[in-house]
């Protein structure tokens, strides 16, 4: 089943580590659909932001154990994609 572009890219991941990689190497991180492939992510980023993607790295972030009112539980695991853009291109990710 084909997914819509905005279903593939859930939201950007903004951390200090990603911010440093963005300034230095032009890398951006996104939370993506758990069944999205690297080709899906590349096509979605290129179409939505009108940029050229050179590399996509994906990883599954495992859930963490948390406790709420003395009851242990696990947060859901999620998929993250780090996208490298062609040199000189940028994505404006502002809230």
**pLDDT tens sequence across 77-94:** 999 999 999 999 999 886
- Which residues are paired to 79 by β-bridges? 32, 60
pLDDT tens digits along 26-78:
999 999 999 999 999 999 999 999 999 999 999 999 999 999 999 999 999 99
Across the range 8-23, mean pLDDT stands at 94
For the chain, give every domain's residue range.
5-85
Torsion of CA 33, 90, 22, 4, to 10 degrees: 0
CATH of domain 5-85: 3.30.70.330
Kindly report the backbone phi and psi dihedral angles of residue 24, in degrees, each rounded to the nearest multiple of 5, phi listed first.
Answer: -85, -45
- The confidence score (pLDDT) of residue 3 equals 79
């Amino acid at each position: 089943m084909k997914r819509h572009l905005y279903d593939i890219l859930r939201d950007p991941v903004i951390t200090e580590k990603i911010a440093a990689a963005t300034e230095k190497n032009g890398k951006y991180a996104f939370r993506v659909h758990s069944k999205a492939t690297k080709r899906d992510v590349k096509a979605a980023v290129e179409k939505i932001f009108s940029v050229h993607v050179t590399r996509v790295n994906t990883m599954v972030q495992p859930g963490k154990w948390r406790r709420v009112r003395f009851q242990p539980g696990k947060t859901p695991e999620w998929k993250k994609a780090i996208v490298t853009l062609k040199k000189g291109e940028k994505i404006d990710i502002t809230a």
